[in-house]
């Protein structure tokens, strides 16, 4: 790759041919403000905040879409450029809902950050503002177009990466807005609730539908409060309290929940272990009977809604097993309620989940009445802050029994490839391979969105595929529809990175997602038991209550069904 000499802000440096100015600047530590730029998305050059001065050019240029050239002399923060960015901000603010103090994105909003950085003091261009109604129809995602800056990141994520096409542009010029088509609201739209749009939105135009007040009311209701925490929460909650990414904060998380009033804190990872027991049983059965292969995992409710909407005829490939959260929820209402002799209706179960889609999942008719509320990681952190919990100084506490013990296989559910690896460990063990560490799972590790591996199980070759983002899921499903899929077992996660990158998580770059995955892997390697079907608590539940693996009672309590959904 050709190397070029350029001068930027008075510094001499080298750049690669084909590099855009903003990327080169970032590489050497110069941060240029931007709103519409996102590394994973096609660049549209719309916000114009990233403009820079070029010697010899009468006008500024957008650094996100201007490639470097030999001898370029660039100034990224000249007085003229700063004034241009300031005017740009004033224009955005003139069309914006400026009630920051009561806004969901207060202190996290990119407009606030740039307004401060650029010292915006005087709004010189006030005029008409189009007031649009807030869309609260969805249980997962709230849309407020009065806070939209038309950076179009949500559209590019929903259409290009997720291929859901729930929202798009409408109108033109000053009247442009982002919404579902044909006058639909979010609930009626094709939205699968993955929340990837939420974590790409620089303001509060898109945010999670909040259940914090519901949980506060629950904590004060006098009822029996139980919480369960998903595998990936322990790897991300710390970042909400300015801890470095890559450190699991499991013990503090449990302590925090107990401190604010939860009587029991259970581990969804146990549900994950049970999921593996059921799914592995199911998989082996399908392999023997050579039917409905490839089998597809079903922990991800966004993927499930996606499948129900666009690929219903192929849904017999999905495992019928519930997601880990739903398994724990089911057991709490039945098995656990009986054990502690509390009426099921006197229990309030709150799920701490990485995603906004779980808010939709718990309201499915099949799961009604089991979990009461879902709080995302971000919501939990807001609740803890409101209740003045000094998170980073908390001691560690263990999860409660009987639904708190988990294996290393359960923990890795939170990252892409985790469910597949957990399932294959059990399948391998049941096939006679006693040391799963001999199997090579590296091909399904990492952030590539489509990963495949061939696993040799004592003569049987199992072709597996792990994908994340729904765009990749769509490709796989089209292949299955055409009858051309070469796989036996498929893991689908809707969110980039898996649950560590969920719509309810704090935002993080690709490298932060990798660090979170690493935290989960580390937790796994420190566990004594790393095979789901060897989880003593799980085995006890089967013995005392569920019966056989994949048996009749297990099916009734731990499996579910899917329905066709008509959307555009």
Partner 1 sequence: MKKEGFNLIAELQAVQDRYGYLPMDVLKTLSKEHKIPGTEIFAVATFYNQFKFDKPAKHTIQVCTGTACHVKRSADLLSQIQKTLKIRPGEITKDGLIKLETVNCIGACAKAPAMMVDDKVYGLVDQDKLRQILGALR
Partner 2 sequence: MITDKEIEQALNQLQGDRITVGLATCGISAGAMPVFHALKNADIGLVEEVGCIGMCYNEPIVTVVKDKRRFIYGGVTESNVHRLISALKQGNVCEDLLVAKDISDLDFYHGQKRLVMGNCGLINPLKLDQYVAKGGYLALLRAISMEKQKVIDEMIASGLRGRGGAGFLTGKKWSFIASKKGKKYLIANGDEGDPGAFMNRTLMESDPFKIIEGMTIGAYATGCDEGFIYTRAEYPLAIDTLQKAISIAYKHNLLGKNILGSGFDFELSVRKGAGAFVCGEETALMHSIEGRRGSPSPRPPYPADHGIYGYPTNVNNVGTWGHVTVVFTLGASEFRKLGTKESPGTKELCLAGMVKRPGIVEVPLGTPLRKIVYDIGGGTSDGTKLKAVLTGGPAGGCIPEYLLDTPLDFETLKSLGSIMGSGGMIVVSEKSCIVDVARYYMHFTQEESCGKCTPCREGTKRLLEMLEHITSGKADKSTLDKLKMLSSFVIDNSLCGLGQNAPNPILSTLKYFENEYLEHIEKKKCPAGICDKLVTYLITGKCIGCGACARACPVQAISGNPKEKHFIDQSKCIKCGTCYAVCPVKAIIK
Catalytic residues: 279, 282, 299, 319, 358, 361, 366, 499
Binding mask 327-346 for partner 1 (x = CB under 8 A): --------------------
Residues in 197-236 at the binding interface with partner 2, rule: CB under 8 A = none
Q: Which does 87 bind (CB under 5 to 8 A by kind): partner 2, partner 1, none?
A: partner 2
Closest CA to 306 of 164, 140, 454: 164
The whole-angstrom separation of Cα 535 and Cα 409 is 10
Q: Which does 222 bind (CB under 5 to 8 A by kind): partner 1, partner 2, none?
A: none
How many Cα neighbours within 13 Å face the side chain of 14?
5
The whole-angstrom separation of Cα 35 and Cα 135 is 23
Cβ proximity to partner 2: between 1 and 174 the closer is 174
Within a 10 A sphere around the Cβ of 73, how many other Cβ atoms?
14
Q: Is 94 in the site for partner 2 (CB under 8 A)?
A: yes
In the DSSP assignment, the letter for residue 559 is: B
**Least distance (Å) from partner 1 to the CB of residue 37?**
21
How many angstroms from the chain centroid is the CA of residue 457?
Answer: 32
- Size of the residue set binding partner 2 (CB under 8 A): 34
Cβ proximity to partner 2: between 128 and 289 the closer is 128
Binding mask 368-407 for partner 2 (x = CB under 8 A): ----------------------------------------
How many angstroms from the chain centroid is the CA of residue 349?
Answer: 21
Residues in 116-175 at the binding interface with partner 2, rule: CB under 8 A = 124-125, 127-128, 149-150, 169, 171-175
Q: Which does 568 bind (CB under 5 to 8 A by kind): partner 2, partner 1, none?
A: partner 1
Q: Is 87 in the site for partner 2 (CB under 8 A)?
A: yes
The whole-angstrom separation of Cα 282 and Cα 295 is 9
How many Cα neighbours within 13 Å face the side chain of 165?
8
The whole-angstrom separation of Cα 92 and Cα 105 is 16
Q: What is the sign, positive or negative, of the torsion defined by CA atoms of 216, 219, 225, 231? A: positive
Binding mask 20-49 for partner 2 (x = CB under 8 A): -----------------------xxxxxxx
3-state helix, strand, coil in the chain (%, to 5): 40, 15, 45
Secondary structure (DSSP) of 217-286: HHHTTTSEEEEEE-TTHHHHGGGGGTPPTT---HHHHHHHHHHTT-SEEEEHHHHHHHHHHHHHHHHHHH
Q: Which of 9, 75, 95, 159 binds partner 2 (CB under 8 A)?
A: 95
The whole-angstrom separation of Cα 373 and Cα 24 is 45
The whole-angstrom separation of Cα 496 and Cα 499 is 8
Q: Which does 165 bind (CB under 5 to 8 A by kind): partner 2, partner 1, none?
A: partner 1
Identify which range of 32-40, 96-104, 170-178, 340-348 contacts partner 1 by CB under 8 A.
170-178
Q: Is 166 in the site for partner 1 (CB under 8 A)?
A: yes
**Least distance (Å) from partner 1 to the CB of residue 182?**
6
Tokens of 13: 């440096």
Cβ proximity to partner 1: between 182 and 561 the closer is 182
The whole-angstrom separation of Cα 435 and Cα 457 is 12
Residues in 443-502 at the binding interface with partner 1, rule: CB under 8 A = none
Q: Is 564 in the site for partner 1 (CB under 8 A)?
A: no
Q: Is 568 in the site for partner 1 (CB under 8 A)?
A: yes
Cβ proximity to partner 2: between 45 and 344 the closer is 45
- Helix H or strand E segment including 476: helix 470-481
Residues in 141-160 at the binding interface with partner 1, rule: CB under 8 A = 155, 159
How many Cα neighbours within 13 Å face the side chain of 133?
7
**Least distance (Å) from partner 2 to the CB of residue 13?**
22
**Least distance (Å) from partner 2 to the CB of residue 107?**
23
Residues in 172-191 at the binding interface with partner 1, rule: CB under 8 A = 172, 180-183, 190
Closest CA to 321 of 554, 546, 490: 554
**3-class SS at 211?**
coil
The whole-angstrom separation of Cα 494 and Cα 193 is 10
- Angle at CA 231, nearest 5°, toward 536 and 504? 155
Q: Which of 4, 8, 54, 62 binds partner 2 (CB under 8 A)?
A: 62
List residues bridging with 227 in a β-sheet: 265, 350
**3-class SS at 462?**
strand
Closest CA to 104 of 155, 143, 149: 143
Cβ proximity to partner 1: between 165 and 488 the closer is 165
**Least distance (Å) from partner 2 to the CB of residue 163?**
17
Q: Which of 41, 73, 91, 243 binds partner 2 (CB under 8 A)?
A: 91
Q: Which of 41, 44, 46, 170 binds partner 1 (CB under 8 A)?
A: 170
The whole-angstrom separation of Cα 120 and Cα 53 is 21
Tokens of 477: 């499903």
Q: Which does 166 bind (CB under 5 to 8 A by kind): partner 2, partner 1, none?
A: partner 1
Q: Which of 29, 56, 59, 121 binds partner 2 (CB under 8 A)?
A: 59
Cβ distance 375 to 353 under 8 Å?
A: yes
Q: Which of 7, 73, 77, 168 binds partner 1 (CB under 8 A)?
A: 168
Q: Is 65 in the site for partner 2 (CB under 8 A)?
A: yes
Q: Which does 128 bind (CB under 5 to 8 A by kind): partner 1, partner 2, none?
A: partner 2
Cβ proximity to partner 2: between 44 and 567 the closer is 44
Tokens of 486: 């070469």
Q: Which does 46 bind (CB under 5 to 8 A by kind): partner 1, partner 2, none?
A: partner 2
Q: Is 2 in the site for partner 2 (CB under 8 A)?
A: no
The whole-angstrom separation of Cα 362 and Cα 199 is 21
Contacts with partner 1 by CB under 8 A lie at 155, 159, 165-172, 180-183, 190, 568
Contacts with partner 2 by CB under 8 A lie at 43-49, 51, 59-60, 62, 65-67, 84, 87-88, 91-92, 94-95, 124-125, 127-128, 149-150, 169, 171-176
């Amino acid at each position: 790759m050709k190397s070029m000499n350029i001068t930027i802000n008075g510094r001499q440096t080298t750049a690669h041919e084909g590099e855009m100015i903003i990327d080169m600047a970032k590489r050497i530590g110069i941060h240029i403000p931007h709103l519409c730029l996102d590394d994973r998305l096609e660049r549209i050059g719309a916000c114009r905040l990233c403009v820079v001065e070029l010697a010899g050019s009468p006008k500024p240029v957008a650094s996100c879409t201007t490639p470097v050239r030999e001898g370029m002399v660039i100034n990224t923060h000249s007085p003229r450029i700063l004034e241009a960015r300031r005017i740009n901000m004033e224009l955005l603010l003139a069309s914006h809902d400026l009630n920051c103090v009561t806004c969901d994105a207060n202190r996290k909003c990119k407009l606030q950050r740039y307004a401060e950085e650029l010292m915006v003091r005087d709004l010189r261009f006030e005029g008409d503002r189009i007031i649009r109604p807030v869309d609260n129809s969805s249980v997962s995602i709230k849309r407020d177009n009065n806070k939209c800056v038309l950076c179009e990141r949500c559209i590019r994520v929903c259409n290009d990466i997720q291929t859901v096409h729930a929202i798009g542009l409408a109108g033109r010029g000053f009247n442009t807005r982002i919404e579902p088509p044909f006058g639909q609201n979010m609930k009626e739209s094709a939205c699968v609730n993955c929340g990837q749009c939420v974590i790409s939105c620089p303001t509060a135009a898109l945010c999670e539908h909040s259940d914090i007040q519901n949980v506060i009311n629950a904590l004060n209701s006098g009822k029996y409060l139980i919480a369960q925490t998903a595998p990936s929460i322990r790897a991300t909650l710390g970042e909400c309290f300015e801890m470095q990414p890559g450190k699991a904060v499991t013990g503090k998380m449990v302590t925090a929940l107990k401190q604010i009033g939860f009587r029991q804190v259970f581990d969804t990872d146990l549900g994950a272990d049970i999921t593996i027991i059921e799914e592995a049983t199911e998989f082996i059965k399908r392999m023997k009977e050579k039917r409905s292969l490839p089998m597809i995992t079903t922990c991800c409710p966004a993927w499930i809604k996606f499948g129900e909407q666009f690929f219903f005829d192929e849904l017999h490939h999905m495992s019928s097993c519930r997601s880990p959260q739903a398994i724990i929820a089911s057991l709490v209402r039945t098995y656990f309620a009986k054990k502690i002799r509390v009426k099921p209706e006197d229990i309030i179960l709150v799920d701490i989940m990485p995603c906004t889609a779980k808010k939709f999942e718990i309201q499915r008719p099949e799961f009604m009445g089991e979990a009461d509320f879902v709080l995302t990681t971000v919501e939990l952190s807001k609740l803890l802050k409101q209740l003045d919990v000094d998170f980073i100084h908390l001691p560690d506490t263990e999860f409660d029994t009987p639904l708190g013990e988990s294996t290393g296989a359960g923990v890795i559910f939170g990252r892409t490839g985790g469910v597949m690896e957990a399932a294959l460990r059990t399948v391998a063990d049941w096939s006679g391979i006693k040391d799963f560490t001999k199997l090579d799972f590296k091909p399904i590790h990492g952030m590539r969105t489509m990963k495949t591996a061939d696993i040799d199980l004592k003569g049987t070759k199992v072709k597996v595929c792990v994908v994340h983002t729904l765009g990749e899921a769509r490709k796989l499903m089209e292949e299955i529809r055409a009858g051309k899929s070469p796989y036996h077992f498929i893991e689908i996660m809707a969110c980039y990175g898996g649950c560590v990158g969920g719509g309810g998580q704090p935002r993080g770059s690709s490298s932060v997602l990798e660090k979170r995955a690493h935290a989960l892997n580390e937790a796994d390697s420190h566990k004594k038991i790393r095979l789901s079907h060897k989880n003593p608590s799980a085995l006890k539940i089967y013995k005392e209550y569920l019966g056989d693996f994949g048996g009749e009672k297990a099916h009734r309590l731990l499996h579910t069904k899917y329905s066709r959904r008509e959307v555009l």
